[in-house]
Amino acid sequence: MRLLSLPARVGPPIALAVSAAVAAAGVAGCTSDATESGSGGGTSSARSVSVKAGAKTCAVSTTTLPAGRHAFAVENTSSQVTEVYVYAAGDQIIGEVENIGPATRRQLIVDLPAGSYQVACKPGMVGSGIRTGLTVHGQPGSATSSAPAQAPMVAAVASYRRYVEAETAALVDTTAAFTAAVKAGNADRARALYPAARLHYERIEPIAESFGQLDPVIDMRIDDATDGTPFVGFHRLEQDLWQKKDISSSAATATALEANVRKLRAAIPTVAITPVTMGNGAKSLLDEVAKSKVTGEEERYSRIDLVDFQANVEGSKYAYTTLRPILAQRNPALVSTLDRRFATLLALLETHRATAGSAGSIPGSPFVSYDSLTPAQVKALAVEVDTISEPLGQITGTLAGT
């Protein structure tokens, strides 16, 4: 799951939260057409808002803004590493920048339809943050109504949405097969079917922030469980299958997981997707891969981390590829850098393919076990992912014309 979903976890019980998330997605859907068609905005540059993220303050240069695209120029004035979020009602994440070192500046570009928002600064990158309210005025639901509709942007979003819909449909099918094996008590079969289902979720993870509470209930880690938030979803079943080696009481978790991926598929057509969310999502997901996933934390029981890793890279690359024709016109050097970096990274992953039955292979996974990688091999992967992060971070700025 996206670590970015953390604040949403402090909330009502899961069942309630899930239906609220789906309802919120429906509301967002009313605005998505206007947002998509308008977010071309090639001729209108983003308007800049300054955010000074201090140790005890979160100073935003204005608290009212017109609807549209805005660039937040973030400066960390504290002595700790910080992060800054823009939240809509209910702590729905609109955008974020993480890992901002002391005395450094970063930019965050977001499309803001009319409504109430909060800017949160999180010194030390913990807690719910220091909040400053923000009111955005304008036509309800029109993020960039003044910008001309741009056919290439609309085509990019439509193409990416089709990809997400196809991946979500495959997620439903592969999860149904996996959970059926769990419920039938067939652990060997369930273990072999697990990697295929994981692949499809991890491919759509660039936009998982938009899934609300469905993201944690599908993909949470045990570290995220609390007294009020039980450990559920894929990784709970992974633990039952590989660590506890006991699925005699896993049926309810399996049933709930299957229901939640079906809810996700039903919600996708109304999830708001824009070129900005695609660009930001691809970049922040690969940041997360470099920072935490490469340590093997996500698939700690099954050790199929390389399946997730490749799927995250493929999903981010797909988002980039749909935007590539627009980027190629505006910044050819960026496109050739990204093409080269993605090719290098995927080629490096290919070197870790497993032959079925050989040492380090895992049934159902095309890759070797994470445990069979040497520290040098893990480092090489981390370096490649890290190298791609900087050019990926230029996508939204290039699209916004800043």
Binding stretches for Cu ion (CB under 5 A): 219
| Min dist. Cβ of residue 216 to Cu ion (A) | 10
Residue closer to Cu ion by CB (options 219, 287) is 219
Q: Which residue is nearest to Cu ion (CB)?
A: 219
The token duo for 61 is: 């240069």
| Min dist. Cβ of residue 164 to Cu ion (A) | 15
| Min dist. Cβ of residue 297 to Cu ion (A) | 10
| Min dist. Cβ of residue 293 to Cu ion (A) | 8
| Min dist. Cβ of residue 299 to Cu ion (A) | 9
| Min dist. Cβ of residue 1 to Cu ion (A) | 5
Residue closer to Cu ion by CB (options 219, 238) is 219
Contact 167, 200 (CB under 8 A): yes
Longest CA–CA separation in the chain, Å: 61
Give, in order, the Cα–Cα distances in Å from 70 to each of 39, 89, 93, 369: 11, 18, 15, 43
Residue closer to Cu ion by CB (options 69, 198) is 198
Q: Nearest CA to 395 among 345, 346, 335?
A: 335
Residue closer to Cu ion by CB (options 70, 236) is 236
| Min dist. Cβ of residue 202 to Cu ion (A) | 5
| Min dist. Cβ of residue 81 to Cu ion (A) | 23
Residue closer to Cu ion by CB (options 60, 307) is 307
Residue closer to Cu ion by CB (options 68, 206) is 206
Question: Can you say whether the dihedral through the CA atoms of 368, 369, 375, 379 is positive or negative?
Answer: positive
The token duo for 170 is: 């495959």
CA dist 358 and 306 (Å) reads 16
Q: Nearest CA to 194 among 220, 164, 233, 229?
A: 233
| Min dist. Cβ of residue 270 to Cu ion (A) | 22
Residue closer to Cu ion by CB (options 36, 219) is 219
Which residues share a beta bridge with 132?
Answer: 119
The token duo for 267 is: 């919600």
Contact 366, 354 (CB under 8 A): yes
Residue closer to Cu ion by CB (options 69, 236) is 236
Q: How far apart are the first and last CA of the chain?
A: 31
Residue closer to Cu ion by CB (options 114, 362) is 362
Residue closer to Cu ion by CB (options 75, 219) is 219
| Min dist. Cβ of residue 224 to Cu ion (A) | 11
